Amino acid sequence: MNKVVNSVEEALEGVTDNMTLMLGGFGLCGIPENCISELARLGIKNLTCISNNAGVDDFGLGLLLRTKQIKKMISSYVGENDEFERQMLSGELEVDLIPQGSLAERCRAGGAGIPAFYTPAGYGTEVAEGKEVKVFNGKPHILETALSADFAFVKAWKGDTEGNLIFKATARNFNPLMAMAGKITVVEVEELVPAGELDPNFIHTPGIFVQRIFKGEKFEKRIEQRTVRQK
Amino acid sequence: MNKVVNSVEEALEGVTDNMTLMLGGFGLCGIPENCISELARLGIKNLTCISNNAGVDDFGLGLLLRTKQIKKMISSYVGENDEFERQMLSGELEVDLIPQGSLAERCRAGGAGIPAFYTPAGYGTEVAEGKEVKVFNGKPHILETALSADFAFVKAWKGDTEGNLIFKATARNFNPLMAMAGKITVVEVEELVPAGELDPNFIHTPGIFVQRIFKGEKFEKRIEQRTVRQK
Amino acid sequence: MALDKIGIAKRIAQELENGWYVNLGIGIPTLVANYVPKGIEVEFQSENGILGMGPFPFDGEEDADLINAGKQTVTLNPGASIFDSATSFAMIRGQHVQLTVLGAMEVAQNGDIANWKIPGKMVKGMGGAMDLVASAQNIIVAMMHTNKKGDSKILSTCSLPLTGVNCVTKVVTNLAVMSVKDNAFHLIERAPGVTVEEIKNATAGKLIVPDVVPEMNI
Amino acid sequence: MALDKIGIAKRIAQELENGWYVNLGIGIPTLVANYVPKGIEVEFQSENGILGMGPFPFDGEEDADLINAGKQTVTLNPGASIFDSATSFAMIRGQHVQLTVLGAMEVAQNGDIANWKIPGKMVKGMGGAMDLVASAQNIIVAMMHTNKKGDSKILSTCSLPLTGVNCVTKVVTNLAVMSVKDNAFHLIERAPGVTVEEIKNATAGKLIVPDVVPEMNI
């Protein structure tokens, strides 16, 4: 079941205005850099983007924010992006902020055929407005629904031709969950290997969740907060 | 955070009559053999056992069935055990049969702080009796609640002293999910290694879910259906 | 002549499409894996946690830790992956598996299926069948047209406890291939040498018979 | 003398118990990791997917693929593990993490906390804070007792949009340690040299003061 496409252009075939996209990554770690660049190049507009963060002003989803390609963001934390804050406060950008754990679980649920689940997160806050509340074990919980997307863009470390994926360290984050929830899941990898080279026992994302895979041309992998100690 | 105990006796300290237990495994594959033997030896009674299957007459949970230590089974498939069928049909044994995917997800939910979720599985059948129904995307779903247990017994391939686990092939099955859902999770491993020996990127069950770990004395690993082809 | 189990499996194998992920139930469905048409690439999912399941191991190479959902020792194909039961049913429930083939005790003309329980007599449990039939969009039932007593298993309504409702899309038996829609069985093909009359006689549910019913090409 | 941020972190570190898994929020809470008492072994969870988080890397050894929830480059301790965000919050929501330390803009005497939004002005988002405060059984807030204008952040009711309700168990500020229960703040300790009077003046919420209020031992 060969899922390989030969270029980012081919990988993004079919992405059009007004679509809902999921984009993996936490901060700038593990983001689908190549796909984001191509989205910017294509100038596709009115996008709804589901991503834990919104990048920084000149990298990650920030690239699509400054060209105003994004109509709505569904995120948990957007504190690193001034342009985002400006567009949100001015009302140019629709924003749905949701708890990080609920975001992760809602993506997984979308991929797992679970249309809704109860969580305590957000009870008694704005997040709970308009949502069903039910008490379990004496504690109120709110009903959260699944998220899915027309395309999910995922960044993996290694992948094989069948779409089996391995992530590196904390670049894993939301990537495996969004891979599950995309109607079409597109993966950019640093290393593309033949089927059979990855140990079946240590696959993070089985190929069944992946529709297209390609080797990314370059990965800048920018560090947001370089913190070190001296030897 | 050393989780090592030195024997199966120590591992089962605190298990008493009337408790609810989870036991990993699918068929006879990946079952906590050493813990089951010890439960039989201790003669602990009136147990509620959550396990996908019920073993065979003389192995796995069958060992506890023939000594009538089990009051209630929560399982998805019990077709391989004659004594089980006899006890169930005669009413000696309470049985709650639930769809396999719902069983897996309910264990995960129990460990993940999700008290309930909707699934299409079982709608329109006995399984749905008494359960809330809600339509999502035009399709009816039933509300299933989380499962948890006083003790979860898990079999892993390798584990480190901090409780990080790796499973081998399909002996993984329900084990990682039940590890999450035990108030006390007890793990028997074939190989116990020092912390730091397992690659952090390829841990199947992080140690946070494990309270006790020990090296099993012996593993029979019986094969239920030996199917082979000739060279 | 009515088909044997292998014939049923061979006919179902013709339904496979390139690139599909397929879950095969215990019994006849398992045999389908042996007859994948040339030029068609499919991957088999086993709900105990395998994608890319291969053939039985060579004698002496079987591994107790590597079994399929029927508890049989199996192997992995190149590109296979292993996962836990929750992830496995995420694939199934999330409709990432394109085809499910399973056995049944009864199928009704509205697509209901019963295959897990005979009250007071046999209770094996539903295993993964309820998740599969509630989730899959393409469900083929593989079974004998009648039971050992000769009674039809192709019914107007199921008498046994249901496994799922309105879900079966096609039935392949020893006598016929039928699609299930609009509250009826629609005869598509006959087993070689089996007459439409024989099929009618063995079918208790509503059967729609077109003017021409071709023979299966096994 | 009121504590500085490091002092607050040091005082919170005294709350750690052997064997605990601990989640530290961004800011002051992060500093707590530097002051774990001798003889106490804890493991730090970072909600972006680390258990067993270690110190910052040596200069030149930082890895863009290994960061904490504050987006800082970090390292792993022996025995660490990496997981996806859903598993990470399964740990948090499932109450496998024994202590959560986080910052706040406001805390109320009923245990409500606000730390994610100032309407019309600042919207950074809640990140993982709502999951943490809704789930954890032991939540310590680390913050300054008053804001930059000198207004108390220890209130009878929160004025900002809430992050969670009835959840904070303890507050450690530059002035005091207080437990939160029975709809009041209970003064437990004073910062070195800080008087009860000063704490009272800086506290807008209901404050219960026992006869003797010992000084912190930093």
Active-site residues of C, by number, are 47
Strand partners, D7: none
Chains C and A touch (3+ CB pairs under 8 A): yes
3-state secondary structure labels for all residues of chain C: CCCCHHHHHHHHHCCCCCCCEEEECCCHHHHHHHHCCCCCCCEEEECCCEEEECCCCECCCCCCCCECCCCEECCEEEEEEECCHHHHHHHHHCCCCCEEEECCCEEECCCCEECCEECCCEECCCCCHHHHHHHCCCEEEECCCECCCCCECEECCCCCCCCECCCCCEEECCCEEEEEECCEEEEEEECCCCCHHHHHHHCCCCEECCCCCCECCC
CB contact under 8 A, A169 and B116: no
ipTM: 0.97
d(CA C126, CA C131): 9
B1 in contact with D, Cβ within 8 Å: yes
Which among D84, D129, D161 has the least Cβ separation from residue A172? D84
Catalytic residue among D43, D47, D106, D189: D47
Contacts of A113 in chain B (CB under 8 A): 119-120
Tokens of D50: 């680390």
How close does chain B come to C172, measured CA to CA in Å? 24
| Domain D5-32+92-208 annotated CATH 3.40.1080.10 | yes
* N-term to C-term CA, chain C: 12
Query: How many contacts, defined by CB atoms under 8 Å, are there between A and C?
Result: 63
B84 in contact with C, Cβ within 8 Å: no
pTM beyond 0.95: the answer is yes
Q: Which of residues 105-134 of A touch D (CB under 8 A)?
A: 105, 107-108, 119-127
pLDDT band with cut points at 50, 70 and 90 for residue D123: confident
Q: Considering only C105-109, C122-126, C132-136, D7-11, which range has the smallest mean pLDDT?
A: C122-126
- What's the confidence (pLDDT) of residue C100? 97
Tokens of B114: 């999700």
Which among A200, A201, A208 has the least Cβ separation from residue C91? A208
- What's the confidence (pLDDT) of residue C121? 84
Chains C and B touch (3+ CB pairs under 8 A): yes
CB contact under 8 A, A113 and B136: no
CB contact under 8 A, A209 and C43: no
- What's the confidence (pLDDT) of residue A80? 78
- What's the confidence (pLDDT) of residue C1? 80
d(CA C43, CA A1): 8
Residue D91: closest C-alpha in chain B: B112
Domain residue limits, chain D: 5-32+92-208
Statement: residue B72 has pLDDT above 90? yes
d(CA A170, CA D63): 10
CB contact under 8 A, C94 and A111: yes
Asked whether C100 and C25 are in contact (CB, 8 A), the reply is yes
Contacts of B125 in chain C (CB under 8 A): 130, 161-165
Statement: residue A79 has pLDDT above 90? no
D26-63 residue pLDDT tens? 889 999 999 999 999 999 999 999 999 999 999 999 99
Statement: residue A126 has pLDDT above 90? yes
Tokens of B73: 């089974």
Which among B120, B169, B231 has the least Cβ separation from residue C58? B231
- What's the confidence (pLDDT) of residue A84? 87
The length of chain B is: 231
Statement: residue C179 has pLDDT above 90? yes
Measured from the Cβ of residue C151, the count of other Cβ atoms closer than 10 Å reads 11
How close does chain A come to C71, measured CA to CA in Å? 19
CB contact under 8 A, A228 and D93: no
Measured from the Cβ of residue A13, the count of other Cβ atoms closer than 10 Å reads 11
A13-32 residue pLDDT tens? 999 999 999 999 999 999 99
Residue type (1 letter), A111: G
Statement: residue B66 has pLDDT above 90? yes
| Share of residues in chain C with pLDDT > 70 (%) | 100
Which among D78, D83, D86 has the least Cβ separation from residue B206? D83
* Parallel, antiparallel or unpaired: strands C176-181 and C170-172: antiparallel
Identify which of C192, C162, C160 has the alpha carbon closest to the alpha carbon of residue C176: C192
CB contact under 8 A, B108 and C86: yes
Contacts of B209 in chain D (CB under 8 A): 91, 96
The length of chain A is: 231
A30 in contact with D, Cβ within 8 Å: yes
- What's the confidence (pLDDT) of residue A14? 98
How close does chain B come to D75, measured CA to CA in Å? 11
How close does chain C come to B32, measured CA to CA in Å? 13
Tokens of A73: 């963001």
For residues C92-98, give the mean pLDDT: 98
DSSP category for residue D57: P
Measured from the Cβ of residue C115, the count of other Cβ atoms closer than 10 Å reads 26
Statement: residue B89 has pLDDT above 90? no
Beta carbons within 8 Å of B53's beta carbon, 6+ residues apart: B25, B26, B27, B60, B61, B75, B76, B77, B78, B80, B81
Beta carbons within 8 Å of B109's beta carbon, 6+ residues apart: A117, B115, B116, B117, B144, B145, B146, B147
d(CA B159, CA B176): 12
Please give the mean pLDDT across all residues of chain A.
96
d(CA B140, CA B126): 15
Contacts of A107 in chain D (CB under 8 A): 86
User: Phi/psi of residue B127, each to 5°?
Assistant: -60, -30
B127 to B99, C133, C162: CA distances (angstroms): 8, 14, 9
d(CA D207, CA D189): 13
Contacts of A124 in chain D (CB under 8 A): 112, 162, 164-166
Statement: residue A61 has pLDDT above 90? yes
Statement: residue B208 has pLDDT above 90? yes
Asked whether B32 and B61 are in contact (CB, 8 A), the reply is no
- What's the confidence (pLDDT) of residue C109? 98
- What's the confidence (pLDDT) of residue A83? 87
CB contact under 8 A, A115 and B113: no
Identify which of A195, A214, A217 has the alpha carbon closest to the alpha carbon of residue A206: A195
* N-term to C-term CA, chain A: 49
Chains A and B touch (3+ CB pairs under 8 A): yes
- What's the confidence (pLDDT) of residue C6? 97
CB contact under 8 A, D52 and B200: yes
- What's the confidence (pLDDT) of residue D196? 97
Tokens of A86: 């400006």
Which among C55, C93, C120 has the least Cβ separation from residue B89? C120
Identify which of C32, C48, C164 has the alpha carbon closest to the alpha carbon of residue C105: C164
For residues A59-77, give the mean pLDDT: 96
C66 in contact with B, Cβ within 8 Å: yes
CB contact under 8 A, A203 and C97: no
Contacts of A99 in chain D (CB under 8 A): 126, 128-131, 134
Chains D and C touch (3+ CB pairs under 8 A): no
How close does chain C come to B183, measured CA to CA in Å? 19
Strand partners, B74: B50, B96
Contacts of A75 in chain D (CB under 8 A): 125
Statement: residue D218 has pLDDT above 90? no
- What's the confidence (pLDDT) of residue B176? 98
Statement: residue C120 has pLDDT above 90? no
Statement: residue D169 has pLDDT above 90? yes
D89 in contact with B, Cβ within 8 Å: yes
DSSP category for residue D146: B
* N-term to C-term CA, chain B: 49
C23-80 residue pLDDT tens? 999 889 999 999 999 999 999 999 999 999 999 999 999 999 999 999 999 999 999 9
CB contact under 8 A, D78 and B195: yes
Strand partners, C207: C185
B205 in contact with C, Cβ within 8 Å: no
DSSP category for residue D192: T
Identify which of A136, A107, A143, A105 has the alpha carbon closest to the alpha carbon of residue A122: A143
Classify the C-alpha dihedral A176-A177-A178-A180 as positive or negative: positive
CB contact under 8 A, A105 and B114: yes
Displacement of CA B26 from its chain's centroid (Å): 8
d(CA B173, CA C128): 13
Please give the mean pLDDT across all residues of chain D.
96
pLDDT band with cut points at 50, 70 and 90 for residue B117: very high
Tokens of C30: 């398992």
A154-205 residue pLDDT tens? 999 999 999 999 999 999 999 999 999 999 999 999 999 999 999 999 999 9
Statement: residue B81 has pLDDT above 90? no
CB contact under 8 A, A29 and D74: no
d(CA B165, CA B177): 12
- What's the confidence (pLDDT) of residue D120? 83
For A91, the 3-state DSSP assignment is: coil
